[in-house]
Amino acid sequence: MVSATIKIEALAILDALSKRFPGAKIELHYHVGDPWTLLVAVCLSAQTTDVAVNKVTPALFARFPTAQAFALAKFEEVEPYIKTLGLFRNKAKNLVKAGQIVMERFHGQLPKAREDLESIPGVGAKSAAVIIANAFGVPAIAVDTHVMRIAQRAGLTKQTDPSKIEKDLTALLPQDRLLEAHHTFIWHGRRICFARQPLCSECPVRDICPRIGVKASA
């Protein structure tokens, strides 16, 4: 049972961060209205920065614009377009396989059901949450390293497993603000609440954040 107090605290943190980062949004580039391109960008972003992904996707999408194009490609044809990214060979294989599954099992349309998305190679729980929230408007908060760090430091969860953290945050925050929380927490983590030495002096929630686990700050 989630207490009313912790819900109030969670909402206060979200309100303050949203005020600081009113333009927070997904920083991966994809074709809005085409969920497949979001899946590709999200899969490529594993263990790689969004900036690095955004450098390769224009040429990649120009050469392979659809799920069908990926399905008909060979792994070796995709690799040169993403060779600057970490794990590019595995990612190329997953994208080709993902295209094949989307064409064969889902008739060329990316599925909206989270469990269906998670059956696609390269798409885990976090990636599926990002896709359903951004592409289909389904309430979800994907837990990456930034969201995890913010939630733990702010005392919104004691969990370390991403799926359990997602469950805690989903219970704490309004459903219609879960995507907002996802983007806002990520922006805060990338710009202020760094992993090693957070800029607590610049933090908009410094007066209410318990700073759990913070050993050094600036």
> What CA–CA distance (Å, rounded) separates 95 from 93?
6
Q: Tell me, yes or no, if 112 is annotated catalytic.
A: no
Q: What DSSP assignment string belongs to 181-215?
A: HHHHHHHHHHHTS-SSS--GGG-TTTTT---TT--
Q: Which two three-digit tokens encode residue 66?
A: 């659809």
Is the separation of the CB atoms in 184 and 141 below 8 Å?
A: no
Is the separation of the CB atoms in 162 and 201 below 8 Å?
A: no
* Annotated active-site residue in 15, 34, 50, 144: 144
Q: Tell me, yes or no, if 144 is annotated catalytic.
A: yes
- HSE-CB at 129 with a 13 A cutoff on CA atoms is 21
Q: What is the 3-state secondary structure (H, E, C) of 143-177?
A: CCHHHHHHHHHCCCCCCCCHHHHHHHHHHHCCHHH
Q: Which two three-digit tokens encode residue 167?
A: 């469950």
Nearest to 64, CA basis, from 78, 85, 51, 52? 78
* Annotated active-site residue in 55, 126, 168, 176: 126
Which residues are catalytically annotated? Answer: 126, 144
